[in-house]
Amino acid sequence: MGTDADLVADTARRVVAEHDPKTVPIQQFLGACFDAGLSWVHFPEGFGGLGVSRGLQAVADGILQGAGSPVPLGLNPMGYGMAAPTVREHAQTDDVRRQLLRPLATTEHIWCQLFSEPGAGSDLAGLATSAVLDGDTWVVNGQKVWTSLAHRAKWGLLLARTDPNMPKHKGLTYFVIDMHGEGVQTRPLRQLTGHAEFNEVYMTDARIPDTFRLGAVGDGWRVAMTTLMNERSALGGSGSRRGAGTISDAVALWTSRPDLHTPVLRDRLSSLWLRSEAQRLTSERSRAAATVGGPGPEGSVGKLVGAELNQHIYEFCMDLLGPEGILYDGYGMGDGDAADWRGPIQQRFLRSRANTIEGGTSEVMRNILAERVLGLPGDLRADAGMAWKEIPRG
């Protein structure tokens, strides 16, 4: 009898043999992966998984991507990295899981994350978007901001306030909202790169069936932690292969421009390579730890280190280019799809400036690590135990 690793490997080879990713349409290939249980191998059978250890995902990904498969996380980042584990763990029924997970896995349905607001960024629990129950439907009013890919999304992960009389962390409920539904309006936000990957989203009497509530009423903060821990693990990953990820951009540029080499830059590239390898191994360690209980605060290490490393890598690339680096004609009205990272080095440099802000600022990551890993005391909160509606805002 073979091991679980053999099962995953054999299944991946069969999918590749029957659905060549180099010739089969992407959505069809990813659908075959879902049906075979390779989208998230630790999910139950019938929901995109095989019911095996989370750590065996690397076995499947190595075979699939080695045969030419796209990286699904890059095509549907909020879907694969955050929505899937949240829906799987907290959806009320299997019918909802079936309805949402397969089109997410095929990238037919893109997802976005409706958390941050103009008055609630790092202090996410202070959000003001409201959801009021009307029969078996929730009526939502409010504004979200910095919402990546909202302009392309079919579904959104929504955290809303359902009880303003409770302390801010306890009056929240978590929903899945139809981004094409009545009362939902998306407006682009132009970025430093010239693109509009981010958006602001307005909800005016938007309606959500109670069946699309994730978790219990008032338990939204706990559900949100599932999303955020998976988000940080996804953002902190640098690929399972040595030399993968953003360091490959620096190496490719260095190799293609021997005329720009200097001893100082060579030393910087060597240092960046070592840091990238350390981050890759740290991410592997976090993934291994997640096999026995899901992502934890360790994911904040990968996010913190990876975000700052990305910035330093593209700073190196710009320094290597010298005066050429200031030549950037990419300020057109692009719509900011997930493929933005395939743009020129100058664009990637500009985009990397947001890495230490999005998905949790580096300051927030350090606080999480200090409190949850090192056991240091948390910040004193003046609003501890206070009803949300009584907290001063302005």
Instruction: Say if CB 248 and CB 309 are below 8 A apart.
Output: no
Instruction: Say if CB 174 and CB 159 are below 8 A apart.
Output: yes
Which stretches within 240-344 are classed as H helix? 247-256, 263-290, 299-321
Say whether 132 sits in a helix, a strand or coil. Answer: strand
**HEC-encoded secondary structure of 137-170:** EEEEEEEECCCCCCCCCCEEEEEEECCCCCECCC
CA 220 to CA 265: how far, in whole Å?
Answer: 48
For residue 185, give Cα distances in angstroms to 60, 68, 79, 80, 161: 39, 37, 20, 24, 19
Beta strands at 213-214 and 198-209: parallel, antiparallel or unpaired: unpaired
For residue 298, give Cα distances in angstroms to 103, 221, 247: 30, 19, 22
Q: Which residue has the tokens 């939204």?
A: 220
CA 166 to CA 342: how far, in whole Å?
Answer: 45
Active-site residue flag, 231? yes
Instruction: Say if CB 269 and CB 261 are below 8 A apart.
Output: no
Phi-psi region of 277 (alpha: psi -120 to 50; beta: other; left: phi over 0): alpha
Which residues neighbour 323 within 8 Å (Cβ) at sequence distance 6 or greater?
none
> What is the residue type of 250?
A
Active-site annotation holder among 117, 197, 200, 231 = 231
Q: Give me the DSSP letters along 159-215.
A: EEES-TTSBTTTSEEEEEEETTSTTEEEEEE--TTS---EEEEEEEEEEEEGGGEES
Q: What is the CA radius of gyration of the chain?
A: 22
**Annotated catalytic sites, by residue?**
231
